């Protein structure tokens, strides 16, 4: 049997389940401890929806920002090899959506690794501005709107504009939010 049969990873869906993500972070902590490095990872996207809000069971990868970048990237590669997950299981592809250090909550505090996540408000703003309204992102936005008990599009826009200048908000974000409220809320 191949590596995809390992617990918590399903090749056919390329998804990491919540408990598997926690185990990967524990392995990352071990790698950092061995290297005598203290690191910090700010997660976003699907990993937050899994680990913080329990809104879904799995995600394709763990998007985030991390420091020290080089050391964490190298440690994450060693974890990928040892744990038989894709090399980009932890990546910083979403770093462009962090315009500032967001208000955050702690997710995991390990000996050599702190993992934090943006608050629900910031996650909603980030998900709306990224405007990748595939099945997961659309469901995540709906979940966050319900979680925050928002009743009108203007409430969503106010949260987005609290964190992002208007020039960074794509037009498709407005269309998506209005459609969302027209059809499901």
Q: What is the pLDDT along the chain (185 residues), one digit of tens a residue?
A: 344 444 444 444 578 999 999 999 999 999 999 999 999 999 999 999 999 999 999 999 999 999 999 999 999 999 999 999 999 999 998 888 887 779 999 999 999 999 999 999 999 999 998 877 666 788 899 999 999 999 999 999 999 999 998 888 888 898 889 888 886 54
Name the pTM for this structure. 0.87
Local structure of 173: helix, strand or coil = helix
Q: How far apart are the first and last CA of the chain?
A: 45
Handedness of CA 168, 169, 171, 172 (dihedral sign): positive
Long-range CB contact pairs, 123-126, < 8 A, 24+: 123/44, 123/48, 123/49, 124/148, 124/156, 124/159, 124/160, 125/159, 125/160, 125/162, 125/163, 125/164, 126/44, 126/94, 126/97, 126/98, 126/102, 126/163
Token pair of 156, please? 């969503």
Spatial distance between the Cα atoms of 14 and 5, rounded to a whole number of angstroms? 11
Give me the helix-helix angle, 135-147 and 171-183, nearest 10°.
Answer: 70
């Amino acid at each position: 049997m191949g590596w995809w049969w390992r617990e918590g990873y399903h090749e056919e869906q390329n998804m990491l389940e919540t408990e598997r993500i926690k185990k990967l972070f524990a392995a990352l902590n071990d790698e950092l401890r061995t290297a005598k490095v203290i690191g910090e990872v700010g997660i976003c996207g699907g990993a937050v929806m899994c680990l913080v809000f329990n809104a879904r069971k799995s995600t394709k990868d763990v998007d985030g920002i991390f420091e020290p970048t080089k050391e964490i990237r190298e440690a994450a590669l060693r974890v990928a090899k040892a744990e038989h997950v894709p090399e980009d299981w932890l990546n910083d592809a979403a770093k462009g959506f962090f315009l500032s250090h967001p208000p955050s909550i702690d997710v995991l505090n390990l000996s050599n690794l702190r993992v934090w996540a943006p608050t629900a408000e910031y996650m909603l703003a980030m998900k709306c501005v990224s405007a990748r309204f595939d099945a997961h992102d659309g469901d995540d936005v709906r979940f966050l709107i319900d979680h925050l008990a928002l009743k009108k599009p203007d409430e969503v826009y106010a949260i987005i504009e609290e964190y992002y200048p208007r020039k960074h908000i794509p037009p498709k974000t407005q269309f998506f939010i209005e459609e969302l409220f027209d059809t499901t809320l």
